[in-house]
Amino acid sequence: MREIVVTTHSYDLGELPELGNRFLIGNGYMGVRGTLEEYDKEQLAAVNLAGIYDRCGDGWREPLNAPNPFSLRLYRREEDGSDRPLALPSAACDQHTQSLLVREGLHRRDTRFSCGVRWQVERLAHMEQVHLLALHAVATAKEAGQFCLKSTLDGDVWDIHGPHYREMSFPTASEHQHGVEAVTNEGDTVAVCCRWSLSTPHHSATAVAQRKQEAILDFELAAGQSASFTLIAAVYTSKDCKEPLQAARAAVLNAPEYDELLASHRACWAKLWERAHVQILGDDPAEEALNVSLYHLLSIAPRHASSLSVPARGLSGQTYKGAIFWDTEMFMLDFYLAVLPEVAKTLLRYRIDTLEGARAKAREYGLRGAFYAWESQEGGYDACSDYNVTDVFTGRPMRTYFRDKQVHITSAVVYGLWKYARWTGDDSLWREGGAEVLIEAARFYHSLLIKRVEKDDDELWNVIGPDEYHERVNNNAYTNEMARFVFEQTLEVCAQLKRDAPEAYKALAQKLSFEEELASFQQAAKRLKKPTIRPDGVMEQFDGYFALEDVTVDAVRARLKDPKEYWGGAYGVAAHTQVIKQADVITLLFMLRERYDAQTLRANYDYYLRRTEHGSSLSACMYALAACGIGRPEEAYPLFLKSARADLDGGGKQWAGLVYIGGTHPAAAGGAYLALLWGFLGLKIEGNQLKTEPRLPKKWRGVQCRLWYRGQAQTLSVQQP
């Protein structure tokens, strides 16, 4: 794999949120935003932790950002004895480069200040020893001078709805070590410990002072000389062990030196890229964009866990409350299935393990079965608020219906389990709780069914489909057909277990007493209202959609009075029009693609594409897949790039009303991989065998990638005809 380096020369404060996302490093346990070492919470610096959350007062419950061990500031001592900070953007700078080494998972900065000092820093989140962070910095002086380096374990963290630490203590520091122990409002503990060293040409001239969480190091350099600083940090929480501070201290004490950590980190990344790298012949920019997307998916994969999932914004911060959405099963899972199937199993075990939370949510609404959280945190707790958007004009929270009406989330869990069994050939998850999920999912949808006296169909009313601009609609095509899929899959898996694992089936039947319900599930699958399809093949997104105002996206955008205004809801500019937020019918036609022909796909692609605002990063990849499916790869190409470059280009929606929703876009990254695999390569599963029907863009000479299918490594190599 050739080296891919993402670079910028910018340190403009207005670009900091997107730069922090673009240059993220992570290892599945934590993500370190790509901010510079001199930055703090005002510049959105953060070490974001996976799977641990806290609520402050009445604010939204969100994931924790750990105290930041990478806070590092260099000073040059002036003649009057004052310390002049060499920090951007305030200090004059002749040259600055910030880099992400994609192949190696390394963040670098190289800054040449106008005073003649060069400041180089390299840092990593260790990909194998996931509790460890490491940093190596070099200061080089063009002219002789005295300097000061301040290494701070910064407990004043960035919080969106905090503060999340009610107590913070700094245990007595020992030589070249310091640490912090922080206790959250909910009683969890986060501990960070550091070990550091400074190497200069004149060791005797080095004076070291320590105070609480800060090491202050004074040193002197002659012209042309350099000083190097290394820092090893460990992060543990009470979710990991009973004594996180002791664990962090031990990890730091026993950690190898920086060079050894760097070597093992690189070796781990090399093994991952052997599995994940995609080569696109004839189009280096597309190859780079796709592999950067895959880098982000690898960086947030919970390889260290047995039951954990990937948040909608990865590990880039607290936006979207660090919650697990349908994004994981529907957009990211295919990558993990093909490259890291053991991680795919981890993601789905999370859903099995949060079944009780889904049952509790169903009971909350007077329903049966399992209603999975729209914004899932640990235990299946739904972090989604009934007032999830703030009105830009009044500043008041707006009633939204994501939590209670986006019932299609439960079908996403079932769909993910089905994909895993189909792709891997491993049916163990059905026996490890997956079949129980299916039965409770079927019960949930059955309890939602509406029967009108004068009609034979069963219906699903008052829902929100993937298109969130239209709330509380009846018979959303995607929702109905995915619910039908749940009924059918439940029947199929129960029959399979009864035939192939009778003891497991018997135990399940005794636990859930579901056998008498199977006939009603079968009837529901037959009677559930099918989408309305016009003679030209266009499927109505929901009942009454075709009667809404048919207007262009640009016309609706022109009606905005504020660029942060929310398009949906009761008074949104799109709510009473046919303009939709993201692919909805098109998503259905991909997810259940074996049920629809190319003519239906073509009619709906042509109809809905021009009515889609693409207000979600999940949208473009679905249209790319559709374009490939109807033989239009040239139309698919820019849509594919829109997904693959989501974190390279930035510029996506940063606000929903007054709520900040910025961060990385792992679902778009997964969507780009979907477009490659099922779109351009035309991958199909026929008789448990993989086949390809390539539809490559003209500029692509070929594609080569590796994947794991049913326990076997395979290489896909496709050439342009």
pLDDT in tens, 383-436: 999 998 888 899 899 999 999 999 999 999 999 999 999 999 999 999 999 999
pLDDT tens for each residue of 337-359: 999 999 999 999 999 999 999 99
The region of weakest confidence among 170-184, 327-341, 463-477, 517-531 is: 170-184
136: its two tokens: 């190596």
pLDDT band at 1 (very low <50, low <70, confident <90, very high): confident
For 62-101, letters b (16+ CB in 10 Å) and e give bbbbbbbbbbbbbbbeeeeeebbebbbeebebeebebbbb
Q: What is the pTM of this model?
A: 0.96
- Between residues 356 and 688, which one has the greater pLDDT? 356
Residue 436 has which token pair? 């129980």
251-260, 464-473, 563-572: which range is least confident on average? 563-572
pLDDT higher than 50, residue 590: yes
Distance (Å, whole) CA 483 – CA 68: 45
Read off the pLDDT of residues 241-282 as tens digits, 9 standing for 90 and up.
999 999 999 999 999 999 999 999 999 999 999 999 999 999
Q: At what angle do helices 619-629 and 666-674 cross, to 10 degrees?
A: 0
Q: Check whether residue 431 and residue 296 sit in a common domain.
A: yes
- Residue 625, domain CATH: 1.50.10.10
Q: Number of structural domains, the chain?
A: 2
Percent of the chain with pLDDT strictly greater than 90:
90
Domain region containing 546: 277-719
Per-residue CA distances from 392 to 319, 555, 565, 581 (Å):
18, 20, 6, 19
Residue in the block written with tokens 């000083």: 227
Task: List the single range of 63-72, 462-471, 647-656 with lowest mean pLDDT.
Answer: 647-656
Q: Is 468 a catalytic residue?
A: yes
Residues 300 and 398 in one domain: yes
214, 243, 272: which is the final residue of a domain?
272
Query: From the CA atom positions of the chain, what is the Rg in Å?
Result: 27
In sequence order, the 6+-apart residues with CB closer than 8 A to the CB of 205 are 219, 220
Closest CA relative to residue 445, chosen from 523, 354, 380, 368 = 368
- Hey, which bits of 201-327 come out as E strands? 207-211, 214-221, 226-237, 278-281
Q: 251 with 165: CB under 8 angstroms? A: no
Count H helices and E strands in the chain, helices first.
Answer: 22, 29
For the chain, give the mean pLDDT. 95
CATH number (domain holding residue 240)? 2.70.98.40
Q: Is the pLDDT of residue 300 over 70?
A: yes
Q: Answer yes or no: are the C-beta atoms of 589 and 476 closer than 8 Å.
A: no
CA distance 21 to 16: 9
In this structure, the answer to whether residues 200 and 320 fall within a common structural domain is no
Residue where a domain stops, chosen among 272, 293, 310: 272
Name the residue among 682, 688, 671 with its Cα closest to residue 718: 682
253 and 396 co-located in one domain: no
pLDDT at residue 79 in the model: 85
One domain, residues 284 and 234: no
Percent of the chain predicted with pLDDT > 70:
97
Report pLDDT for 571: 87
DSSP E strand stretches across 455-553: 458-459
How would you class 711 by CB atoms within 10 Å of its CB: exposed for 0-12, middle for 13-18, buried for 19 or more?
exposed
Same domain for 423 and 526? yes
Per-residue pLDDT at 455: 87
Please write the tens of the pLDDT for every residue from 621-643. Answer: 999 999 999 999 999 999 999 99
Whole-angstrom Cα distance, residue 207 to residue 440?
65
Of 235, 257, 272, which marks where a domain is finished?
272
Residues 542, 661, single domain; the answer is yes
Q: Are 125 and 30 in contact (CB under 8 A)?
A: yes
The answer to whether residues 471 and 518 belong to one domain is yes
Average pLDDT in the 446-452 region? 96
Residue 515 has what DSSP assignment?
G
Judge if 612 and 639 occupy the same domain. yes
Residue 175 has pLDDT above 80, yes or no: no
Q: How confident is the model at residue 171 (pLDDT cuts 50, 70, 90)?
A: confident
Is a pLDDT exceeding 50 seen at residue 207? no
Show Cβ contacts of residue 250 under 8 Å, excluding neighbours closer than 6 positions: none
The DSSP symbol for 109 reads E
Amino acid 656: pLDDT: 65
- Please indicate, yes or no, whether residues 416 and 396 belong to a single structural domain of this protein: yes
Q: How far apart are the C-alpha atoms of 372 and 444, rounded to whole Å? A: 10
Catalytic annotation, pick one of 287, 288, 375, 468: 468
618 and 489, same domain (yes or no): yes
> Which pLDDT band, with edges at 50, 70 and 90, does 524 fall under?
very high
Q: Are residues 193 and 142 in the same domain?
A: yes
